[in-house]
Chains A and B, each alone.
Chain A
Amino acid sequence: MSRLIRMDRTGHTTLAEWTAEDPTSVEAAVVAFRRELDQGYFAMVTRGEGHAEQVKTLPVDEPLVIMRLPIAGG
């Protein structure tokens, strides 16, 4: 089961869960994913320790996709 989560004031919130074999759950995850992108979030996928990649489309095969806010200089 793959998960789409957003880091927020609660720690994190699970926005969608899907399996690649279930097109309905994938579709719902894609909708949730796009909604977060539209709100200004960045989607991140970890690529092993020390590596992460920003993605623009939902990587259906990834176990975990994390939505984060953009950073800024202090």
Chain B
Amino acid sequence: MHRAGVVWTLTTVAHVVPFIAVAVVLMLLQPLAFPVAAIALVHAWIIPELYAARGAGVVRPKSRAAAGPERVALGLLGDLVGHEARELHAQTGLAIERGRLGTWLVAEAGALLVRPRRSRRRPGLVHCYCVRVPAPELPSADRVAHLLLALRADEQGFATVANLAFAGAPWRLRRRLPAAMAPALDRAAAV
């Protein structure tokens, strides 16, 4: 898990640093090359943003079933989680779950894992996992309940089955999350 986070950080650095270096060298050699240097800096900025957008995509809301089944499924999910998680799910669509690896935020077709803080000033990385129950006809709350039960039964196995879409700083992911979901990330990062 830690290695995956390090690899993602190194990959981001490997994408960003060359573009910044190109921009700096161009400006030192020929200030008139400012437009090209600016384009290189835009590349350095946009590549991590695209990765973060991919990570945020794993928790974006999917299509809903009819109101009746959704209500029934929501009742079962509510029975599975505590009051705090129930309230947070109602507000954000994400179910919070504390595990051994960190704090999870479970959505319909993906989950975010906020790793424990590395120090007081350095929050843990967020890992974005693409994982789903292959039954699109299920109500959304049932899809969350499927993932939640699988996670509770075998956290390590859950993280192994899931595909890692992104790992990075919480602030980078937060900007790409739907606004309603951002408080859930803040809550998980504060744990």
Contacts and interface: CB of A to CB of B under 8 A. Distances in A.
Interface in B67-121: 68-73, 75-76, 80-82, 97-99, 109-110
Contact of A9 (B130, B137, B158): B137
Q: State the main secondary structure of chain A at its contact with B.
A: loop
A47 to B, nearest CB: 8
B132 A10 contact: no
Contacts of A1: none
A69 interface: yes
Interface residues of A, number: 23
A11 B150 contact: no
B139 A9 contact: yes
A49 B161 contact: no
Contact of A68 (B71, B99, B137, B145): B145
A51 B71 CA distance: 24
Interface residues of B, number: 41
A53 B152 CA distance: 8
Interface of B: 58, 65, 68-73, 75-76, 80-82, 97-99, 109-110, 130-135, 137-139, 141-142, 145-147, 149-150, 152-154, 158, 161-163
Q: Which 3 pairs between the two chains have the least Cβ-Cβ distance?
A: A11-B72, A74-B130, A52-B152
Given A12-B73, A46-B80, A71-B133, 18 more contacts: A11-B69, A46-B149, A50-B99, A51-B152, A66-B76, A66-B149, A68-B145, A69-B135, A69-B146, A71-B146, A71-B147, A71-B161, A72-B131, A72-B161, A73-B162, A73-B163, A74-B58, A74-B130
17 contacts: A5-B76, A7-B73, A9-B65, A9-B139, A11-B70, A11-B73, A50-B99, A50-B152, A54-B153, A68-B150, A69-B133, A70-B133, A72-B132, A73-B130, A73-B163, A74-B110, A74-B132
